[in-house]
Structure 1
């Protein structure tokens, strides 16, 4: 079973964006068409319920079957940091803001989610999809943090190592799961 993760279109935000619902810029029709062409024609499509991911899923749909948006595929909840510039976060929480990225695991932004909580949430959604749609290709439009948790899962890496991957807007990250377990394919492919 193959999973095709697509990061949503760019938001042009210069601040933390977690559960804050901001739109994506989907004006690069040539790139969107290349992404849509690269993905399996018969795949199912599911998205985070945040508008930047949902609109991206709609843009790459073609004649594929669309599953309902799923809140379990949302980006990290950055809590009090959502909407703040990175420098503001560093001023507000100097030690925590550094450790949050250097020691991903159980640390959370104030009133937010940890890496482990997000990974658990997304793993549950993916496991359910794999069980209900066994053997089918699935395209999932989501967010950088969500995709990185699944890179960790498929590669067997640490969270810190998974965070080292670049995941561009509208890029494709492919992975598969089968009897032998998870296997990471191409990461951050821009067709």
Structure 2
């Protein structure tokens, strides 16, 4: 049995669509960081996306835990040409596509970006490899909103629209247990 502790990185305070842009996290809430550190299991293995907002959050909560190198495939959704733009701005240019992307996620993709199905395939493969390499361990994966939703969708056998209905706050923990025969979801969006 392998337990995944999916942690969303600290806030960026951006008011736009942030995917692969490397914006820093605000980690000034040291009390929240300490609570998160104390809530997560010891011992555990820590890994993060290679984007600084996730990598720096992982460093802030790591403590004496084992740390793996950053993983590119744990990045947020690639929003392509929509990156760092506000929803209203994109909606004014391409209302049908952006509504379809969020309301019926699947194969719809932003220009030069990736579809929800592509995000799921990328993240599922990365998580499966981590589970295979570290079977039976507690894995703390510090990543992004979209990454965490991909794993909730898979574990709960949801469609994409249902997955997008979950709230995932910054510095929250979502816990999923994987055994050879099933997935079990414990905490969702838990703020220690």
Q: 1:183 offset after TM fit, Å?
A: 1.3
Q: What TM-score do the two structures reach when normalised by structure 2?
A: 0.98
Hey, what's the Cα distance between the residues in 2 that align with 1:19 and 1:156?
A: 27
What is the aligned partner in structure 1 of residue 129 from structure 2?
128
1:38: Cα distance to partner?
0.4
Superposition pairs of residues 173-188 of structure 1, within 5 angstroms: 173-188=174-189
Pairwise mapping of residues 45-56 of structure 1 onto structure 2 (< 5 A)?
45-56=46-57
Structure 1 distance, partners of 2:146, 2:180, is 26
Question: Over residues 88-146 of structure 1, what are the superposed CA-to-partner deviations in whole Å (9 max), with x where a residue is unaligned?
Answer: 11112111010101111111011100111010000111110111111000000000011
What SS does the corresponding residue of 2:43 show, helix, strand or coil? coil
CA distance in 1 between counterparts of 2:131 and 2:21 reads 28
Q: 1:83 aligns to what?
A: 84
Over residues 143-188 of structure 1, what are the superposed CA-to-partner deviations in whole Å (9 max), with x where a residue is unaligned? 0011001100111111110110000000000001003211111100
Query: What residue ranges of structure 1 are gaps of 5+ in the alignment?
Result: none
Q: 1:111-126 to 2 correspondence within 5 Å? A: 111-126=112-127
- 1:30-54 Cα shifts (integer Å, max 9, x gaps): 0000001000011100000000000
Aligned residue pairs total 191
Question: For 2:188 and 2:123, how far apart are their aligned partners in 1?
Answer: 18
Q: Provide runs of 4+ in structure 1 moved above 4 Å.
A: none
CA RMSD of aligned residues (A): 0.6
Distance in 2, Cα, partners of 1:121 & 1:177 = 18
State the alpha-carbon separation in 1 of the partners of residues 70 and 133 from structure 2. 16
TM-score, normalised with respect to structure 1 = 0.99
Q: Secondary structure at the match of 1:40?
A: coil
SS at match of 2:57: helix
Q: Secondary structure at the match of 1:175?
A: strand
Gaps of 5+ in 2: none
2:140 counterpart residue number = 139
